[in-house]
Amino acid sequence: MKKILTTLLFISIFYIINSLEISPDEYILGVGDSVEVYVVDSKGVNSFSFVSQTLDDGSFILMAPTTNKTGFFDVQTQIFLTNFKSIGYKNLTRKDFQDSILKTYRREFVIDTVLINIKYYGSHSYINVTTNLDSTRFVNFEWGKNFLYYLSHVQTKYVTLIDSSLSIYTIRKGKNFLEKVSPYDIVYPGDRIYLKPQAVGVVGQVVNGGMYPYSPDLTVKEYISLAGGPTIDGDINNIKHFDKKGKKKTGQVEPEDILVVEKSLSAKMKDMSYFVSVIMNSILIYVYISNIFKK
């Protein structure tokens, strides 16, 4: 049983890793990444390590040993480290960034090896697809890319409708409200992106009332058909059409419109007859009880 569970666990991990389609070497550095740097020479004399964050301005501060006992004290190596040099990381993959650090240190020190470990990925842009078919996933942050670029990495049928029937919202880093954006707006580090398919409400005397995906090609009656058509009491020729602000309108259906199928005349008459009969019965009961008390 343990072997089966272990096998299933490894298969799950394999599929999760493949679904992200991001190898460690291909990861592109972004703002807020926490990077652990190991600097090693062949004799171990200049070996040290430190952890630092990538900065908003696209720079990363390298550190180096110091003899004046100032700066950051590394408990493991028992040496003091201080700021050595600022290097850029924009649009560099993890491997390219590691090579750049090695070259920088090699110019000043006798260094053979530099290894980096990204401890925290602070630069992910999250894609949250608000449908029943898709779930939250992330893609790597890249400088200067727009929302359309990121959404093209998400395997969802709604991306193909982006120009006509998809609203894009984001929650900016440090804020707590949704902000509507254009597909061509630039994504900033830490943005959470929400896809919200535009829809049309079909309610009233229909079989399956609810919200249905907007399509510019559908007519009013075709939307009613999507909702299962009118009920036995519904009148397909008596449909009220409202815009998203609740104002009556006619013509082409637009996103966030509401279509209300009214009752047929016969259904209304039936309801009226029932209402009248209820009132008459109430009056008769009242008269009967009043006569009893008069006796």
Whether residue 165 contacts residue 131, with contact meaning beta carbons closer than 8 Å, is answered with no
Q: Is residue 180 over pLDDT 60?
A: yes
CB-CB neighbours of 48 under 10 Å: 18
Whether residue 98 contacts residue 35, with contact meaning beta carbons closer than 8 Å, is answered with no
CATH of domain 199-267: 3.10.560.10
pLDDT on residue 2: 46
Coil vs helix vs strand at 206: strand
Question: Given pLDDT bands bounded at 50, 70 and 90, which one contains residue 133?
Answer: very low
Q: What percent of the chain has pLDDT over 90?
A: 21
The residue extents of the domains of the chain are 21-120, 125-197, 199-267
Mean pLDDT over 177-193 rounds to 83
pLDDT in tens, 17-56: 333 344 567 778 888 888 999 998 877 666 888 999 999 8
pLDDT in tens, 199-223: 888 999 999 988 887 777 889 999 9
Rg of the chain over all Cα atoms, to the nearest angstrom? 33
CA angle centred on 32, ends 29 and 38, rounded to 5°: 65
Same fold, 125-197 and 199-267: no
CATH of domain 125-197: 3.10.20.30
